[in-house]
Each structure stands twice: as C-alpha cells, then as structure tokens.
Amino acid sequence: MTDTARHAEDRLMMQAAHWCMRLREADCSLAERRAFEDWLQSDPRHAFEYAKMLEVWELSGQLAPSLPPA
C-alpha cells in the first residue's frame, strides 16, 4: 500500500470514529446528523468503515475496566 493510500485509509477511519462519537453526544445538532447522512451516502466505503467503527465501539464496551496504577 502506498503512503497516499494509507493516508486516505487513515483519514476515512478517523472520519468514521468522529461520527461514531459525535452522534452519541447530546448536543449533536440536526444539521450535523444531516451532514453525517450526506457523508455516509457519498461513498460506499464510508458506510463500510462506519460499520467497522460501530463494531469496535460495541466490542470496547465489553472490556473490563482497567484498574488505576497502584
């Protein structure tokens, strides 16, 4: 994979992570939700990456909490 392709993949992953977190915040506006829908529908890769991010989000909720350092 080229550096350019890796950068594009990383950028897409960060966008999906942003939407995954932002949509769960109480102050997420209707305009932002519409922007998410536009983003999601603008490229099939967006829906795929968002679905992967949701899976990671759900799996992370099953992790045991870490203990603070002693």
The predicted structure's pLDDT at residue 7: 92
Q: What is the mean pLDDT of each run of 10 residues along the chain (70 residues)?
A: 89 95 95 97 96 87 69
Range of the domain at 25: 3-60
The predicted structure's pLDDT at residue 69: 72
How many domains, in total, are found in the chain? 1
Q: Is residue 24 part of a domain?
A: yes
The predicted structure's pLDDT at residue 50: 96
- What angle do helix axes 44-60 and 30-42 make, rounded to 10 degrees? 120
Q: Is residue 44 part of a domain?
A: yes
pTM strictly above 0.85: no
The predicted structure's pLDDT at residue 34: 98
Q: Is residue 56 part of a domain?
A: yes
Q: Is residue 19 part of a domain?
A: yes
Q: Is residue 70 part of a domain?
A: no
